[in-house]
Amino acid sequence: AKEAGGGVYASYDPAMHDALMRRLSLADDLRLALDRDELVLHYQPTVDLATGDIVGFEALVRWQHPTRGMVPPLEFIGIAESTGLIVPLGRWVLAEACRQAVAWGRPVKMAVNVSVRQFEAGDLAATVAAVLAETGMPADQLCLEMTESVLLTDTDENLSRIVGLKALGVMLAMDDFGTGYSSLAYLRRFPMDVLKIDRSFVDRLGSGDAEDETLVNTIIRLGRRFGMLTVAEGIENEAQLAVLRGMGCDYAQGYFLSRPVPAPEAGALLEAGLPA
Ligand code: C2E
Ligand code: CA
Ligand code: CA
Ligand code: CA
C-alpha cells in the first residue's frame, strides 16, 4: 500500500493507520452508544475551601464501550464534535446531570461542561430551558463550564448566546482559565460567574516557587475583582490545598479531595461529607 503517486500514501505509517481506524470505528459506535445507554456520568466534588463542605459536583462523561471498556472523554468528545453527535450527547449529559442533582434531594450545584460546537450548533439556551423544566432543576444550581475557545471568536453572536444563557438564571464558568489567548479581555466582555483556574497552574503550587505562587494569587485576585467565584482544579496534595486556602481561593477540586465517582458514591459523599 506504499503508493507514492500524489504522495498521499508515501508516508504510510501503520501506527497512524491504526489510530485512524480506531477513530472511525469509535465514531460509528458512538452513534449507537447514546441509544444503548453506554454513557455514564461520574461526579467530582467541588469543595468550599473555608469550610471543607461539598458545595457541588462537576459532571464528567464516561463511555462504557461494550468491547473496549471505559473510554475517557478526551478520546470521544473530539469525535462527537466533528460528527455533530456532541449536540444530542451534550443534551443527554445536561439532562442526566440535572436529573441526578434533583434526585439527591438537597441543594447542590451541578457543573456541566459545554463544548464550543454544542454552544455554536443549536439553540443551547432553548435546550437548557427545556432541560430545567423537564427535570425541575433550579436554574441557579446549574453551572455551565465553557473554555475560552467558546469566547475566543468574541463575535456579537456568541455574546448574545452567553447573554441568553445568563437570562435563564444559570451560572456560567470560564473553564481552564489562563490556557487560552487574551483571557483578560473576556473578563470584561462576558458575564461569567465562576473562574476555574487550570490544573497546569495548580500543578506547580506548593513546591515553594515564588513566581508560580504569584501567578495563581494574581488570578484569584483578578477573579475576585470581577466579582467571580474562583475554583482551583486538579489539587493533588495537601501543600497545594494549603497554599490555595491561604490565598483565599473559594472552591477546589482534585484527586486529593476526591476523584470523580459514580452517582451512588457521590450521593454518599454528599450525605456524609468528605473524610476530614
Ligand atoms: P475538564 O473540564 O478540565 O475536567 C477536569 C479533568 O481533570 C477531568 O478529566 C478530571 O477527571 C480530571 N481531574 C480532576 N482532578 C484531577 C487531579 O487532581 N489530577 C488530575 N491529573 N486530573 C484531575 P476527564 O473526566 O478525563 O475529562 C477530560 C475533559 O473532557 C474535561 O476536562 C472536559 O474538557 C471534557 N469533558 C468531560 N466530560 C464532558 C462532557 O460531559 N461534555 C463535554 N463537552 N466535555 C467533557
Ligand atoms: Ca470543566
Ligand atoms: Ca482543565
Ligand atoms: Ca476543559
- Most distant pair of Cα atoms in the chain: their distance: 66
What residues are in contact with ligand 1 under a 6 Å CB criterion?
44, 60-61, 72-74, 77, 90, 93, 113-115, 175-176, 233-236, 253-255, 260
138 Cβ contact partners less than 8 Å away, ≥ 6 residues apart: 107, 132
Nearest ligand 1 atom to the CA of 236 is 18
pTM of full prediction above 0.90: yes
Provide the β-strand partners of residue 171: 143
| Residue 75 CB coordination number (10 Å) | 14
CA 109 to CA 53: how far, in whole Å?
12
Residue burial 205-223, b: 16+ Cβ < 10 Å; e: rest? bbeeeeebbebbbebbebb
Distance 8 CA to ligand 3 centre (A): 36
DSSP calls for 107-171: --EEEEE--HHHHHHS-HHHHHHHHHHHHT--GGGEEEEEEHHHHHT--HHHHHHHHHHHHTT-E
pLDDT in tens, 33-42: 988 999 999 9
Distance 60 CA to ligand 1 centre (A): 6
Distance 204 CA to ligand 3 centre (A): 14
Contact 124/161 with Cβ under 8 angstroms?
A: yes
CA 242 to CA 219: how far, in whole Å?
17
**In percent, how much of the chain has pLDDT > 90?**
67
State the ipTM, two decimals. 0.97
pLDDT in tens, 158-176: 888 999 999 999 999 999 8
Q: Which phi and psi angles does 258 have, rounded to 5°? A: -170, 140
